[in-house]
Chains A and B, each alone.
Chain A
Amino acid sequence: MKNIFNLLMVVVLWWPGIGHSAAQKYTQLETGAGSWEIYSAGVTFSLTQILPDQVKAFYVNRGFTLEQIRDFERSCVYMTVLRNDNAPGTIHFISNDWLVQVNGKRQPLVPVSEWLERFESAGISKAALVAFRWAQFPPEQSYEPGGDWNQGMLSMGLPPGSIFDVTARWDIDGKGFETTLKGIRCDR
């Protein structure tokens, strides 16, 4: 019983004060990683931490050396999902518009292009760069209602141990929407 509990402990917390259309859900996965999800205005937004060893494993298997992937691995990486379940139209986003808030300070996400520039200057193989680029959450994308979605990695650019909020922003025909996942934990 204890093993089962340790393997799959699911805790659901309903956070007050986030807004009537959005309630944040937290799940602890059997890997030990945390997963946070919110549904707002017809859109699901979720973050699941990819622990540093998992990030390292993924990229070493795709041609990176331990040294080459170290900075990325330690930048708080999350498997990110955005899905247009039933928003009232096509949603469009640019992830550079999203914000990370930590200790009262707001900052943008680290752009995929910035990581790619670092890796290119480090002489990483083209095949490894292709894998890196397409494993990231899209920097810009549009989703139709009814279930268009993507899943990809997103670096928060924070040191392990950080606790932070992430605000995802999108628009429908120019009208802006946003939702915030609060109290995201970045485990070591």
Chain B
Amino acid sequence: MIGKMIGIRLVVLVVFCHPLIPVSAQGLPPLTHSLTPVKNTAAPELELQNMDEEVVDIRALEGKVVVVNFWATWCPPCRREMGSLERLYQATKEQNVEVLAVNIGEDLDTVFSFLGIVEPSPTFKMLFDPDGASMSRWNVKGLPTTFILNKKGELAYRAVGGREFDHAEIIKAVVDLSR
């Protein structure tokens, strides 16, 4: 029984996590870089704990451009885009931009282990939504989904599915909102 369980875990490692398996070999489609402008309505409520168990309330970030990314470690495109999200943060954080990554349904240990293998390692805020309740408030129907809020705390852009967040067009859209 123990041997079987170890075997199962090895399959998971190879299939979902092994860095040497080329992306194309996993049958994964390319990440895109489009953003859909959305009507400037007030962003839904988002008040969740971060990795230090401190509550982060998105309303306190008004005056900043905020990128809100809903994700999970078991979601392949979420894993693929996480490094580019950090590069976006590095390119824009001096211009009043915050990135919030909202993890759905996982615990601190799981997220922490994953972040250790992301390159570059994320330095933006990680929030935890253990029961996925924020997904319905934000009308998220699949992971990953990302929103970009303007400085008034209104929804400005949405992206459904994995993105290259360090693409010049996305960086420009975020910087333009911060002006």
Residues on A lying within 8 angstroms of B by beta carbon are 8, 27, 29-31, 35, 44, 46, 48, 53-54, 56-58, 60-62, 79, 81, 83, 126-127, 130-131, 133-135, 137-152
- Contact A127–B160 (Cβ < 8 Å): no
Within 8 A of A (CB), among B25-54: 25-29, 32-34, 36
Residue on A nearest B132 in the bound complex, by CB: A130
CB distance from A121 to the nearest CB of B (A): 19
- Contact A48–B27 (Cβ < 8 Å): yes
Residues on A with beta carbons closer than 8 Å to the beta carbon of B21: 30
Which 3 pairs of residues, A with B, have the shortest CB-CB distance? Answer: A147-B32, A146-B34, A130-B105
- Contact A46–B142 (Cβ < 8 Å): no
Main SS class of interface, A: mixed
Q: Which of A29, A53, A60, A130 contacts B27 (CB 8 A)?
A: A29
Bits for B104-139, please: 1 = Cβ < 8 Å to A, else 0: 111100000000000000000000001110010000
Residues on A with beta carbons closer than 8 Å to the beta carbon of B106: 127, 131
Residues on B with beta carbons closer than 8 Å to the beta carbon of A146: 32, 34, 36
Main SS class of interface, B: loop
Distance of A142 Cα from B38 Cα, bound (Å): 13
Q: A61-B9, A130-B131, A131-B105 are in contact. Are A148 and B27 (CB under 8 A)?
A: no
Q: Which of A29, A83, A145 contacts B26 (CB 8 A)?
A: A29
Residues on A with beta carbons closer than 8 Å to the beta carbon of B160: 141-144, 148-150
Q: A141-B142, A148-B160 are in contact. Are A29 and B12 (CB under 8 A)?
A: no
- Contact A134–B104 (Cβ < 8 Å): yes
- Contact B8–A62 (Cβ < 8 Å): no
- Contact B34–A147 (Cβ < 8 Å): yes
Interface size class of B (residues with CB under 8 A): 35 or more
Say whether B75 faces chain A, with CB atoms less than 8 Å apart.
yes
Q: Which of B34, B104, B131 contacts A144 (CB 8 A)?
A: B34
Residues on B with beta carbons closer than 8 Å to the beta carbon of A126: 131
Residues on B with beta carbons closer than 8 Å to the beta carbon of A31: 15
With A44-B29, A146-B34, A151-B162 given, can you name 9 additional A-B contacts, CB distance below 8 Å?
A29-B25, A29-B26, A54-B12, A79-B27, A134-B143, A139-B141, A143-B161, A145-B34, A146-B36
Bits for B80-120, please: 1 = Cβ < 8 Å to A, else 0: 00000000000000000000000011110000000000000
- Contact A150–B142 (Cβ < 8 Å): yes
- Contact A46–B74 (Cβ < 8 Å): no
Distance of A124 Cα from B51 Cα, bound (Å): 26
5 example contacts (A-B, Cβ-Cβ < 8 A) are as follows A60-B5, A131-B106, A138-B141, A141-B160, A143-B160
Residues on A with beta carbons closer than 8 Å to the beta carbon of B159: 148
Q: Which of B11, B72, B161 contacts A149 (CB 8 A)?
A: B161
Residues on A with beta carbons closer than 8 Å to the beta carbon of B131: 126, 130
- Contact B141–A141 (Cβ < 8 Å): yes
Say whether B153 faces chain A, with CB atoms less than 8 Å apart.
no
Residues on B with beta carbons closer than 8 Å to the beta carbon of A140: 141
Residue on B nearest A133 in the bound complex, by CB: B132
